[in-house]
Structure 1
Amino acid sequence: MSVPARRAVFNPTSIPELRPRRAYIQPARTIPGRPPAGRPKNWSWRVVRKESTEVGENHSGHIEAHTNEGILFFDSIFPLRFNFGMHMRLPFFRHRNLPELLERFNSASLQALDPMVMVKRAIPANVPITVTEILPRIKDGGAFVKFSHPDGVSSQEVESLIIGYLKEKYVRPWFNPMRPMKANLVRGVPWLEDLHRFPSSRIKVEFAPTKPGGEAAELSQETLYSLFRRYGMLAEISSQPADSKVLPRFATLDFARLRNAVMARNCMHGFKVLEEAGGGVGGTQLRLSYEQKIKAHMIRDWVVGHPRIFIPLMAALLGTLAVAVFDPIRTFFIKARVTHSLKIRDSRIYKWFSSQAKDMFTFKKRNVEEAGLGAIWDDRRKLIDQLQTWMMETTDTFIIVQGPRGSGKRELVLDQALKDRRNVLLIDCKPIQEARGDSATINSIAQQVGYRPVFSWMNSFSSLIDLAAQGTIGVKSGFSETLDTQLGKILSNTATALKQIGLEDRDKHDKDASMTDDDYLESHPERRPTIVIDNFLHKNEDSSVVYDKIAEWAAGLTTANIAHVIFLTNNISYSKSLGRALPDRVFRQIALGDITPAAAKRFVITHLDSEEDPTGTDSKLSEGQRRRDLSELDACIDVLGGRLTDLEFLARRLKTGQSPQKAVEEIIEQSASEIMKIFLLAARTNDREDRTWSPEQAWFLIEQLAKAEALRYNEVLLSNTFASSLTPSASNGEAVLNALAQAELISIKTAKGRPESIRPGKPVYQAAFKILTEDKVLKARMNLAVLTELSKIEGKSIDKCEAELALIAGMPRVPPQVAPRVEYLLGKVEASQRKVEQWDREMGGLKRVLMREY
Structure 2
Amino acid sequence: MIPGRHSLQSLARPGLGLAATRTGRYRLPVILGHTRNARRWETTAQVDGKVDDKIEGEKTGHIEANPMECIIFFDNLFPLKLSSYFFWRPWKSQTDFPKVLKRLNSTSLGMFDPAALIKRAIPKDLPMDIIEIIPRTKEGGAYVKFRYPRYTSAADIQGKLSEYLEKSPVKPWFSPFRGISTGLVLGRPWLEDLYRLPKSRLRVEFVAAKDSETPDELSQESIYNLFRRYGWIADITSQPPDSKVLPKYAYVDFVLAKDAVMARNCLHGFVLQEEGSKVATRLRLSYEQKVKPHNIWNWITNHPRIVIPVLVAFIAAFSVIVFDPIREFFVKAHVQKSLEFTDSRLYKWLKRQTTDILSFGRRKEEGKGLHALFSHRKDLIDSIKKTLLESEDTFVVIHGPPGSGGRDLVLDQVLGGRKKVLVLDCKPVIDARGEAGTIGKLAMAVGYRPVFSWTNSISSMLDLAIQGTTGVKAGLSENLESQVTKILQTSAAALKKVSLTGRKKSDNDAHLSDDAYLEAHPEDRAVVVIDNFMHKTEDKGFIYDKISEWAATLVENNIAHVIFLTTDTSFSKPLSRALPDRVINQVTLGDLSSDVAKHFVVSQLDNCNSDNDEKDNHNEGQSPLPIKTDKQKRNDLEELDECIETLGGRLTDLQVLARRLKVGQSPKRAVSDIVDQSAADILRMFLLAANKSSDGGEKKWSNEQAWYLVKSLASQESLKYNEVLLHNTFASSLTPGASSPEAALESLADAELITIKSQHGRPATIRPGKPVYQAAFVRLMEDPVVKARMDLAAFTELAKIEVKNIEKAEQELTVLAGLPNGPAQASGRVQYLLNKLEVSQKKIEAFEKEMGGLKTVLGKEE
TM alignment of 1:518-533, pairs within 5 A: 518-533=515-530
Counterpart residue number, 1:204: 203
When normalised by structure 1's length, the TM-score is: 0.83
Match of 1:568 among 539, 548, 565: 565
CA positional deviation for 1:608: 1.2
Question: 1:735 is matched by which residue type in structure 2?
Answer: A
Q: Secondary structure at the match of 1:357?
A: helix
In structure 2, the residue matched to 1:440 is 437
- Give the aligned length: 832
**Which of 745, 768, 773 is residue 760 of structure 1 equivalent to?**
768
Partner of 1:791: 799
SS in 2 for 1:250: strand
What amino acid sits opposite 1:770 in the alignment? V
CA distance in 1, matches of 2:720, 2:555: 37
Structure 1 residue 658 displacement after superposition:
0.8
Select which of 647, 659, 662 maps to 1:655: 662
Structure 1 equivalent of residue 218 of structure 2: 219
Which residue does 1:811 correspond to in 2? Answer: 819
CA distance in 2, matches of 1:49, 1:613: 119
- 2:688 maps to which of 670, 681, 689: 681
Q: Deviations over 1:213-243 (max 9, x none)?
A: 6533221111111122233333332211223
Q: CA deviation at 1:12?
A: 4.0
Structure 2 match to 1:781: 789
Q: Which residue of 1 aligns with 2:73?
A: 72
Does the CA-based 8 Å contact 2:187-2:266 persist in structure 1?
A: yes
Given candidates 282, 285, 289, the residue that maps to 1:284 is 282
Paired AA for residue 254 in structure 1:
D
Q: What letter matches 1:281 in structure 2?
A: V
Correspondence 1:251-266 to 2 at 5 A: 251-266=250-265
Distance 1:144 1:695 in 2: 102
TM-superposition CA deviations, 1:478-512 (whole Å, max 9, x none): 55444344444444433343333334455566565
Given the alignment, which residue of 776, 779, 787 partners 1:771? 779
Query: Which structure 2 residues correspond to residues 360-371 of structure 1 after superposition, within 5 A?
Result: 360-361=357-358, 367=364, 370-371=367-368
- Return the match for 1:123 from 103, 106, 121: 121
Distance 1:287 1:88, change over 3 A: closer
- 1:695 deviates by 0.8
CA distance in 1, matches of 2:110, 2:719: 108
Distance in 1, Cα, partners of 2:591 & 2:556:
33
Q: Are residues 49 and 444 of structure 1, via their aligned partners in 2, closer, same or farther at CA, if it must alter by over 3 Å? A: farther
Distance 1:467 1:428, change over 3 A: same
- Kindly indicate whether the alpha-carbon contact (under 8 Å) linking 1:469 and 1:476 is maintained by their aligned counterparts in 2: yes
Question: How do 1:579-598 residues align onto structure 2 when only pairs under 5 Å count?
Answer: 579-598=576-595
- Find the counterpart in structure 2 of residue 723 from structure 1: 731
- Pairing of 1:742-761 with structure 2 (within 5 A): 742-761=750-769
Deviation at 1:599, TM superposition (A): 2.9
Deviation at 1:665, TM superposition (A): 0.6
Question: Could you tell which deviates more after superposition, 227-236 or 550-559?
Answer: 550-559
Amino acid at match of 1:382: D
Give the conservation status (yes or no) of the 8 Å contact 1:105–1:116. no
> Counterpart in 2 of 1:3?
none
The match for 1:381 is 378
Contact 1:134 1:144 in 2 (8 A): yes
> Which segment is superposed worse, 473-482 or 789-798?
473-482
1:52-91 superposed Cα distances (whole Å, 9 cap, x missing partner):
9xxxx989876666654533342495373x666x444556
Report the TM-score when normalising by structure 2.
0.82
Q: Does 1:404 align with 2:411?
A: no
Q: Give the conservation status (yes or no) of the 8 Å contact 2:605–2:629.
A: no
Quote the Cα distance in structure 1 between the aligned partners of 2:477 and 2:705.
45
How far off is 1:211 after superposition?
A: 4.9
Cα 1:706–1:686 change in 2 (3 A) is closer
Tell me how far 1:668 sits from its aligned partner.
0.5
**Could you say which residue in structure 1 is the equivalent of 2:720?**
712
Unaligned runs of 5+ in 1: 1-5
Closer, same or farther in 2 for the Cα pair 1:839/1:171, shift >3 Å? farther
C-alpha separation in 2, matches of 1:83 and 1:606: 93
Write the distance in 2 (CA, Å) between the matches of 1:50 and 1:189.
20
**SS of the residue aligned with 1:758?**
strand
Cα shift at 1:377: 1.8
Using the alignment, how far apart are the partners of 1:364 and 1:835 within structure 2?
77
Residue number among 652, 661, 668 corresponding to 1:645 in the alignment = 652
**Mean Cα deviation higher: 708-717 or 826-835:** 826-835
AA partner of residue 440 (structure 2): N
Structure 1 residue identity aligned to 2:710: I
Contact 2:76 2:179 (8 Å CA) reproduced:
no
Superposed, 1:286-435 pairs within 5 Å as 286-294=284-292, 321-361=318-358, 367=364, 370-435=367-432
Contact 1:118-1:173 within 8 A present in 2 as well: no
Q: Compute the displacement of 1:664 (Å).
A: 0.6
For the 8 Å contact 1:63–1:189, the answer to whether it is kept is yes
Contact 1:672/1:768 (8 A) holds in 2: yes
Deviation of residue 819 (structure 1)? 5.8
**Per-residue CA distance 1:434-456 (angstroms, 9 max, x = gap):** 33333333333333333333344
1:749·1:758 contact (CA, 8 Å) conserved in 2?
yes
Q: CA deviation at 1:680?
A: 0.4
Report what 2:621 is aligned to. none
| Contact 2:188–2:270 (CA under 8 A) maintained in structure 1 | no
Offset, 1:537: 3.1
Equivalent in the alignment of 2:706: 698
* Separation in structure 2 between the aligned mates of residue 331 and residue 64 of structure 1, nearest angstrom: 77
Q: Tell me the CA shift for residue 397 of structure 1.
A: 3.9
Q: 1:447 to 1:278 in 2, by over 3 A?
A: farther
Which amino acid in the other structure matches residue 271 of structure 1? Answer: G
Separation in 2 of the partners of 1:51 and 1:643? 116
Give the match's secondary structure for 1:759. strand
The CA distance in 1 between the partners of 2:119 and 2:712, in whole Å, is 115
- Cα distance change on mapping 1:219 and 1:779 into 2, 3 Å: same
- Following TM superposition, by how much is the alpha carbon of 1:769 offset from its aligned partner in structure 2, in angstroms? 0.9
Asked whether the equivalents of residues 202 and 285 of structure 2 are also in contact (C-alpha less than 8 Å), the reply is no
Alignment CA distance shift 1:298-1:833 (3 Å):
same
Offset at 1:663?
0.5
AA paired with 2:290? Q
Is residue 2:232 matched to residue 1:233? yes
Structure 2 counterpart of 1:229, which letter? R
Please tell me the residue identity of whatever aligns with 1:646.
D
RMSD of aligned alpha carbons = 4.7
Query: Using a 3 Å threshold, how does the CA distance of structure 1 residues 243 and 712 change in structure 2: closer, same or farther?
Result: same
Match of 1:454 in 2: 451
Maintained 8 Å contact 2:121/2:170: no
Structure 2 SS opposite 1:388: helix
| Distance across 2 between alignment mates of 1:842 and 1:592 | 44
On the 8 A contact 1:121/1:171 being kept in 2, the answer is no
1:742 positional shift: 1.7
Q: Secondary structure in 2 aligned to 1:358? A: helix
Whether the 8 Å contact between 1:680 and 1:698 is mirrored in structure 2 is yes
2:75–2:180 Cα contact (<8 Å) kept: yes
**What amino acid maps onto 2:144 in structure 1?**
K
**Secondary structure in structure 1 of the residue aligned to 2:685:** helix
Letter of the 1:331 counterpart: E
